[in-house]
Amino acid sequence: MGNHSDGSPNHSGTVATAGQNEVEKFQDPGLPPHRLRLADTDPKAAKRAERQVALLFGTSVVGTLIFLVAYFAIDLGDGTGIATVRLQNMLLGLGTAFAMLGIGTGIVHWAKALMPDHEVSEERHAIRTEEDRQAAVRIVDDIAEETGIKRRPLIRNTLLGAVALAPLPALAIFGDLGPRPDDALKHTMWAPQDGKLKRLARDPDGTPIKAADVTIGSAFHVIPEGLNELHEHKLEEKAKAVVLLMRLNPESLNPSPGREDWAYNGIVAYSKICTHVGCPVALYEQQTHHLLCPCHQSTFDLTQECKVIFGPASRPLPQLPIAVDSEGYLVATSDFKEPVGPSYWERDEHERSINA
């Protein structure tokens, strides 16, 4: 773009020209006349602005004091109610906000109302001259000449090789970051251990559940027995193994062939992990037998083996086959017959190998 004020002809397509050969000229309008502020003319106004700035800085001081008082004076000892903690949080936040805002707004108001506000224009300089460009090219040429990189290809090639190989250790290190999931998503804690079937236990206390405890209309939140005793990866295991246990009238269940013995007396157990993106599906309506996922409203129908009847989930919730052991406790007869939770790259392969 040309400089509009230097009088050179302007043929930019956006500027309409009045006549055929007439040159459109812009007069540099210059700066508008300087307008004095109230504080420039009226000493009283200046004094007032000064007080306002001081008041803003004072606000900042008060904010800092609020922060310090809230931090040190509010005692968060044992038995402190949540209200006190949240009150302190609020005061800390308000204190910091006032402390920062006071300084910021004070400086801005000071600059706007009291500091000199005469307009200054700076001339635009040419960005590049031909001499500067030549000088830069000469410097690069000098470097190439003095290092002798053109004359000594051995050095050049070994340097290129060294630089190309240097990132390889990083590849190896990053490739080993953390354990690879391998088939961790394929199994859960429900798989029988040493021939012993896992009992269904209450979340969070881990006590086993008797079949007789589960009355019609009940919903139990279930974890595998032994989960609470894990020392490592407890949350990871829980995230895969959580199950919702419900009891319906046995007539309302419609098991497909091969799944007739997965329920016990109308008691069914389904994975709580949504097959869409893995939210816990635990909103159970005991009259309609719908299970609702709170994240994206996927709805599963318990009477049709948790078929998706609404929402973005694409697969039914996996069912956990259950039975009753000799003492009357509910046990899982095997692990889930498919990987739980949302899709992942190797899922189909894992499902095939589980059912093989």
Partner 1 sequence: MKALSQKRRHPLAAIALLLMGLLVTGGLYAVATTVNQAKASTSFSANDAEEGGKLFAANCATCHGMGASGSQAGPSLVGVGAAAVDFQVGTGRMPMQMNGPQAYKKPAQFNEEQTHQLSAYVASLGPGPSIPEASVLDGQGDAANGGELFRVNCAMCHNAAAAGGALTRGKFAPALSGVSEKHIYEAMVTGPQNMPVFSDANIGPEGKRDIITFLKQIEANGSPGGADLGALGPVSEGLFVWIAGLGVIIAFTIWLTSRTS
Where do contacts with partner 1 occur on this chain (CB under 8 A)? 35, 37-39, 81-83, 86-87, 89-90, 108, 112-113, 202-204, 210, 212-221, 246, 280, 282-288, 290, 292, 294, 297, 299, 310
Nearest distance from C-beta of residue 37 to partner 1, angstroms? 5
Closer to partner 1 by Cβ: residue 113 or 227: 113
CB of 207 to partner 1, least distance (A): 10
The DSSP element (H or E) to which 186 belongs, if any, is none
| Cβ–Cβ under 8 Å, residues 294 and 274 | no
User: By C-beta, is 58 or 217 nearer to partner 1?
Assistant: 217
Q: Which is nearer to partner 1, 68 or 216 (CB)?
A: 216
Nearest-approach distance from CB 310 to partner 1, in angstroms: 7
Does residue 264 sit in helix, strand or coil?
A: strand
Q: Which is nearer to partner 1, 27 or 215 (CB)?
A: 215
Cα 199 to Cα 245: distance, rounded to the nearest angstrom: 13
Neighbour count for residue 320 (Cβ, 10 Å):
28
Shortest Cβ distance from residue 5 to partner 1 (Å)? 24
CA 325 to chain centre: 44
> Taking a C-beta distance cutoff of 8 angstroms, is the pair 314, 275 a contact?
yes
Q: Where does residue 268 rank: exposed (0-12), middle (13-18), buried (19+ CB within 10 A)? A: buried
What does the alpha-carbon distance between residue 95 and residue 69 come to, in Å, rounded to a whole number?
9
Question: d(Cα 247, Cα 356) in Å, to the nearest integer?
Answer: 31
> Shortest gap between Cβ of 175 and partner 1 (angstroms)?
37
Closest to partner 1 by CB, 61 vs 212, is: 212
Q: Which is nearer to partner 1, 19 or 77 (CB)?
A: 77
Closest approach of partner 1 to the CB of residue 43, in Å:
16
In this structure, the strands spanning 322-324 and 330-332 are: antiparallel
